[in-house]
Amino acid sequence: MQSKKIEIVKNIGMIALLIAIIMGSIMAYRRENCIKPNEYEKDPMLRVLFTNGKPIGQSFSRFQPEKRMVRVGSYQEAYEIFLSMCTDKKKIITVVPEAIHICYLYPLCNKNGYLCFTDKVESDTYEVAVVWVISDSIAKMGVREVHFVETIKNNPHK
């Protein structure tokens, strides 16, 4: 009887230790992926993508929260938002300018990746442009794509 009590106490101790380890791992993961306020205030791209430390716009769908949707008045406004993310405008590369769809690449120096701004969007939608964020470090923070959607009142053609 005494040995069963000791065994139960040992098992409870092991369970408590496992819970502590798991909780510590979860907290460390959250700290790692959380953006510190001074980090996003210094970097214009992070300041735009993570307004007040939270991902830009709203989730495109609840199943893909890393895809974000931002309402804009026009393609020009979407392009200006893209430009506001780029610290050095001279580094913006136009890819295949004679193609049907325009694509601009902007290399990210300190994040190992790039931004791709394009007007290649699905037809019959209110989307006017997309920014693909090709960077694992930013994707871990919660943004992979930013879809710019024209507000309905600004689009009388549809």
DSSP letter string, 139-152:
HHHT-SEEEEEE-G
Residue showing tokens 């830009």: 56
Q: How far apart are CA 45 and CA 107, in angstroms?
A: 11
Pair 75, 151: CB distance under 8 Å: no
3-state secondary structure of 130: strand
Cβ-proximal residues to 45 (8 Å cutoff; 6+ apart), any chain: 85, 86, 87, 108, 111, 115
Residue 36 has pLDDT above 60, yes or no: no
* pLDDT at 3 > cutoff 90: no
Q: Quick check: 157 pLDDT over 60? A: no
pTM: 0.69
pLDDT at 40: 57
pLDDT of 52 reads 77
Residues 128-155 pLDDT 10s: 999 998 888 888 888 999 999 998 775 5
Percentage, residues of the chain above pLDDT 90 = 18
Q: Residue 135: name the closest of 102, 109, 104 by CA.
A: 109
Give CA–CA dist 6/118, Å, rounded.
Answer: 66
pLDDT digits (tens, 9 = 90+) for 79-124: 999 998 888 877 888 776 666 778 888 888 666 788 888 888 888 8
43 has a pLDDT exceeding 80: no
